[in-house]
Amino acid sequence: MIASTLRRFEGFAPASPARLRREVIDREIARDRAATGLGITLRGLSKSFDGGKPVIDGLDLHIPAGQFVAVVGRSGCGKSTLLRLILGLEAPTAGRVAIEGGEAPRRIMFQEPRLLPWARVRDNVAVGLGRDGKAAERRERAGAALTEVGLAEKAGQWPATLSGGQRQRVALARALVSRPGLLALDEPLGALDALTRIDMQAMIERIWRAQGFTALLVTHDVAEAVALADRILVVEAGRIALDVAVPVPRPRRRGDPELAALEGRILDHLLDGRG
């Protein structure tokens, strides 16, 4: 369906019709991905540790199926705790997390690849399947996931032979191999060099568009957030201080003035409290 839409709009000039073309494609992608992504609803969600001050404090939030949401904020504001609550890795002190849309897995990718050094690349990816499937099926699914991240030829190698960017791509393949309905990304690109980071951003967006999972990205990089997300949540002291849609249709161009203006607004808010 998406391909047919592209063909129908192929002859449009790269001005306002091109923007219309992208908006129509975005709508079709959103409709198609809603069948596989998981929706998230938070009601009065709070989390304290050892009876201390709440890290997450009474959050109400809805994230539609298939949306790409970035969460930004200062260190210690509760971003990663929020991810862990949504994934079910932490129990809330109060309130609840409702996951809507079926039983698709929820997966997380961290800043460190966390690969098993004694296992070959394909076996590291297959870890993401748990005990699901027979050995031949697991190898096939792991190989398909490695193809998606451009590392099919590395399947039989050891993690120690890979570059930092390649190890992160293996970690991404491991998170994707079970076809998650929700993928949480906790600063997954923070340790990469600038060019590798840009390549990984493009890869994550491409796979998200193709697979239709709901994506939650925690990042300190506001430019990364506005480049990738449909919507940005600014968290302060366990609450959502700013919830803003990214108005620029995809594909996005680096240096776009609308993206730069949004990045400036969010940075202003983080630095001195202006909206």
Q: How far from chain centre, in Å, is Cα 203?
A: 11
What is the extent of the structural domain holding 263? Answer: 34-105+179-272
Residue 128 domain-assigned (yes or no): yes
If asked whether residues 207 and 92 sit together in one domain, one would say yes
pLDDT of 155 strictly over 60: yes
Boundary (domain end) residue, out of 161, 178, 195? 178
pLDDT value at residue 50:
87
The closest alpha carbon to 37, from 69, 68, 65, 63, belongs to: 65
pLDDT value at residue 30:
52
21-to-6, 103, 122, 146, 154 alpha-carbon distances in Å? 8, 33, 39, 31, 37
Boundary (domain end) residue, out of 178, 204, 225? 178
If asked whether residues 172 and 191 sit together in one domain, one would say no
- Within 8 A by CB and 6+ apart from 109, the residues are 171, 172, 175, 183, 184, 185, 186, 188
Both tokens assigned to 123: 């076996």
Domain count for the chain: 2
Residue 65 burial (CB count, 10 A)? 22
pLDDT value at residue 31:
46
pLDDT of 55 strictly over 50: yes
If asked whether residues 141 and 242 sit together in one domain, one would say no
Residue 220: give its domain's CATH number: 3.40.50.300
| Rounded Cα gap, residues 163 and 113, in angstroms | 11
Q: Where are the beta strands (DSSP E) in 12-91?
A: 39-47, 56-63, 68-72
Q: Is 174 exposed, middle or buried (0-12, 13-18, 19+ CB in 10 A)?
A: buried
Residue 11 domain-assigned (yes or no): no
Residue 236 domain-assigned (yes or no): yes
Query: What is the torsion angle, in degrees rounded to the nearest 10, for the CA atoms of residue 12, residue 33, residue 219 and residue 129?
Result: -140
If asked whether residues 188 and 216 sit together in one domain, one would say yes
| Rounded Cα gap, residues 32 and 26, in angstroms | 10
If asked whether residues 156 and 193 sit together in one domain, one would say no
| Rounded Cα gap, residues 69 and 46, in angstroms | 20
**230-272 pLDDT tens trace:** 999 999 989 999 999 999 998 888 889 999 999 999 999 998 7
**Contact predicate 233/70, CB 8 Å:** yes
If asked whether residues 195 and 265 sit together in one domain, one would say yes
**Contact predicate 43/96, CB 8 Å:** yes
DSSP designation for 230: S
**5-50 pLDDT tens trace:** 433 333 333 444 445 544 544 554 454 455 579 999 999 999 999 8
pLDDT of 114 strictly over 90: yes
**Contact predicate 44/93, CB 8 Å:** no
* Mean pLDDT score across all residues of the chain: 86
If asked whether residues 158 and 184 sit together in one domain, one would say no
- Give the H or E element holding residue 85: helix 79-87
- Within 8 A by CB and 6+ apart from 124, the residues are 115, 116, 159, 170, 174
If asked whether residues 121 and 208 sit together in one domain, one would say no
- Report cis status (omega within 30 of 0) of the bond before 159: no
| Rounded Cα gap, residues 164 and 159, in angstroms | 10
